[in-house]
Structure 1
Amino acid sequence: MKLSDVVNFSFKALTSKKLRTSLTILGILIGPAIVVGLTGLTLGFSSVLTHQLFSSLSPTDIFVTPGTSTITPYTIQEISHIPGVKAVVPFYLISGTIETPSGPMATEILSISTSQASEVFPGLTLQQGQYPSPYSSYGAVVGYYIAHPQYPGQPTYQVGQTITVVMNTPNGKITKTFLVTGSFNEFSSAFADIDKALVVQNIVGSQYYGDQYSGLIVEASSVSQVNNVVNSIHNELGRSVSVTSVEQFITLINNSLSAVNGLLFVAGASSFIVAFVGILSTMFTTVVERTREIGVLRAIGFTRRGIMVIFVTEAILMGLLGGTAGVGAGVGMGYLLTTLTNSGGPGAGRGSAAASGGLGISAHITPVFEPTFIAEVILITVIFSLFAGIIPAYRASRIEPAVALRYEV
């Protein structure tokens, strides 16, 4: 019997029991749908994070934050003498709230040399106005979501207006009024949530924190020097500081998402096992119901092997249909989940990072579906179905024609 004839015969057998076949396929598709949908979502999230990290930060940036001791000018001097270091930019990161008519609004004040900020943050660009002068303690550039509020009712702060901020300092809460000299374009960074922050000159931070910096941004002379500089800082300063490069951010993200993918695989594997049991049950029931048909086929010349091939083919077809439908459902699930995530507002995707201020990632996430992975999911589904169909098919092939023809359903 030709393969095409076997496939045609098996397909007709499946369509003769439409409801049962449909329910079995529905059980099969759950596993592939979960795995494909959620994996596509995590890959899309990883792609967005990676893109935004490399587009907003320089790949030569290294972030140094306090470890067992504070960061002082001595720390800057030690790092500056390390071979491969191009620049060391200290900064202060001060938490606070903006006083608005509708109530306080959380913010951060990034106090840094603005002339160096544009070099270490290539993606940070002005939308309006200009940076305050180097010696100004009252000028500030506001983040995108301060100039363009996310929610109705929030005030806007444009160039030339004043903004009152309550800052948390070592001396307690201090209220300070800044003059808005400029505003930034939208900027997402693993360094700080600058879209909701104020950027001021480093003279502001030094007024309250003196020589105790929140951290340093070390710029390596080239990408190839980054790992050498990181290792040298560790050797020079040990655990007194914490060192993280942009490349390490990417590695951390990928490792975290790999762990998530592992959990998704376990969830999908559970669904595959359920599908395996469903196919097994369906095929055993089919063998019982078609006992007389098996007897007729054997009587007209079908061999035991031929009978086994027919039933195994039915199981494979159900796996192929279920896997394909599951992939389609998973793709739809991925886009649905990203739509729900993206509709949560411009800040819906924000998290936090311990590096030095927060992980301010905000962008439209598009799920990523790799063709190779999709093919692997379908193949795994078919293999599960094949194994589920072997035992019932073998049982069907062992039925004697004489017994089968006398069998009453």
Structure 2
Amino acid sequence: MKETTTSGDGDLGHLELMMVSRRLYCRAGLDQELTALAEICYNLRYIDRNGKSQNPWSLRQMGIYEQYDLVNQRSRWILLHPSENACRRLEELLEQRCDTDSDAEDIDNIALHAAIMITASRLWGDYLDDQSELLRAFVSTNHSRDKLWDIRGYLRFHNEIRIIDSLNLQFITHANTDEKANYSTIDQTRKFDYKITFSDTQKLHRLRTELSRNRTALKSFFEIASKFKQRYSTLRKQRIIPGSIEVEADLEAHIDGLRVYINTASSLLQKCEAVDRLLTTILRLRNQAAILRNEQTLQEIARQSQSENAAMARLAQQSAQDSRFLKALTVLATLYLPASLLATIFSSNLVQTQTISSSSPSPSKTHLVAAPDFWIYVVITLPLTLFTVLLIYWMGRRVRTTATI
């Protein structure tokens, strides 16, 4: 509030109320002579409903300007973007004073400022109650907190039991962040434990950011009201402006209410921060526990792989031993193959013995001769041998081509 000296013109002996595009102007006449003026201008940030279903609260602001003639006790008002409640309240007060036909000297403009402030701060309590409820129930849509203790028909929560209808299960969605943060386990070994996700911390962060911003607006509101009341008391005691103890008491009660709102917002912020730290710690510990379980699983898989590799090594060693034994048998069979072949040929009908007659009295001699059909054996055996060699070569080449692809 500041005092200036200027000259004015015009003479309006009555109070005029004019509403233009949600701007309220309250004007009073000024004398022709040199006049001492007192000016006050401030910006109020207040909370109001926006009509939305998800986030029904919005932080808004309105500007108030008053120019007061200390000599003639006339004032000029400018309100920028006032709320509808503030406009209605001002209309009521001004109409009441105009109806009582009071003089300008009896008009306490500070009471109008007090009415604007009290009306603008009226919804802070409802807003903080909603935020407190939101802090308790923003995880209420998470059905993982439901604790089913009896499959025959009971659903138990923290301290509530509701009978379940066999055809229509009704879930009690009343849980709070404290319960989720205080009763969640780290290792998640319980079957019906609370589900904590990163989205919970994001919701808390958004709530904490909004509370912090609005608490700053509340503190600004509190500072304006406190300085306004202090200056009003000084000017009233010095009899510079008309005033009343009732208005000063209303301002004091209004300031006390704002102080309570600030303390409530600070308490909610501390609660948000505490719950956020606890949930973050639980998430971190659960993550570490999950990493430990993964490491244990990987170690178990490594041990199983090591056992399998050892078994494969033993199998390969046994196969190598068997291969050496088979190779030895093959070499041995190859060594005896010519002799066996000759024995088979000579024992067959392909080779026959023929007796040589002589005129001497000595015994007759015999010698081996090929059978007349011996050529059939040679003609059939050679093509079969050649076919076998070609078949082995073709199969080996096909295996090598497949392995290359």
Give the TM bin, normalised by the shorter chain.
under 0.3
TM-score by length of 2: 0.23
Q: Whose Rg is larger?
A: 2
- Larger relative contact order (Cα-Cα within 8 Å, sequence gap ≥ 6): 1
TM-score by length of 1: 0.23
